[in-house]
Amino acid sequence: MTKADQILTMVREVCALGRVEFERPHTAEGDPDAGRALVEGLQAIEPGGGPSDISLSLGLLAPRAPYFDQLVLDAVATGIPQVVNLGAGYDDRAVRFRHSGVRFFDLDLPDIVADKARRLEAMDTETAHVTLAAVDFGTDDVAEVLARAGHDAQRPTLFIAEHLVLFLEPGDVERLLAGVSGRAARGSTLALTAEVHPAGLDSGLVVSAVDDVMFAGASPLHTIQPREAWLALFERNGWRIEDADEVTAVDHFELPVAGQSVPIQTQFLTATA
């Protein structure tokens, strides 16, 4: 495993382990204990070999988890029949927000999907409404993967991508947004977390500074852009962000770039098809 893969593995596990620490809602038919069962035995190990300090992530997750929970709850309440979780990792929402008539699609890399399938099978919970689909957003066409998985492009969908696109190359993020746009019937929504740097800086320089300062050249992160670039990316791929002037965000980290201290935010962007 490369160091970048080790970091991705750690972050994936930190996200799921961190969410277990919060009181969270669930649907009437949903399983509030699924999250804890899904992460059983996971440890979130740092590339150096020591355990990751989960508490450091709680400040980031505190606004992020409820934001995405509420989107799923609202979608289910308004009768959206499909929820597609892009880069789902060990996210428990498919079982936490189980609701008659709603199909959940959890997409992730093949080995994560295989492990999640084993974990779900071992749990004493209903999973007939969950479809797991293996994908590599770096090489695969998400639209084809969804079609093969049984996703219905004629019916509306909530697409969520929590803490995914920072790990993808900018060109792959573009393909992803275009791909899901092609599967998004009227009434569909796409929500994702976007890493944002202040306007006026070169994004390539920011990404390489993040890599040098925080990851000693391991290169796990690839897409950090100014807000304007994210908004333009949504727009040219058929996604309309309402209230584009209203920023919903959590401060992620701050680091020196070309001699100045640069804050990086995680912004929550939600758009309609």
Q: Does residue 15 touch ligand SAM according to CB under 6 A? A: yes
For residues 56 to 95, the per-residue mask of contacts with ligand SAM, x marking binding by CB under 6 A and - elsewhere, is -------------------------------xxx-x----
Q: Establish if 163 lies at the interface with ligand SAM (CB under 6 A).
A: yes
Q: Kindly indicate which of the ranges 107-115, 141-149, 174-182, 218-226 contains the residues binding ligand SAM, using the contact rule CB under 6 A.
A: 107-115
Per CB under 6 A, contacts with ligand SAM among 108-127 are 108-109, 112
DSSP the chain: --HHHHHHHHHHHHHHHHHTTS-----TTS-TTHHHHHTTT---B-TTSSBP-THHHHHHHHHHHHHHHHHHHHHHHTT--EEEEET-TT--HHHHT--TT-EEEEEE-HHHHHHHHHHHHHSSS--TTEEEEE--TTTS-HHHHHHHHT--TTS-EEEEETT-GGGS-HHHHHHHHHHHHTT--TT-EEEEEEEE--TTS-HHHHHHHHHHHHHTT-------B-HHHHHHHHHHTT-B-TTTT---EEEEEEEEETTEEEEEEEEEEEEE-
Taking CB under 6 A as the rule, does residue 133 contact ligand SAM? no
Check residue 12 for interaction with ligand SAM (CB under 6 A): yes
Is residue 4 part of the contact set for ligand SAM (CB under 6 A)?
no
Query: Could you list the residues that contact ligand SAM (CB under 6 A)?
Result: 8, 11-12, 15-16, 87-89, 91, 108-109, 112, 135-138, 162-164, 167-168
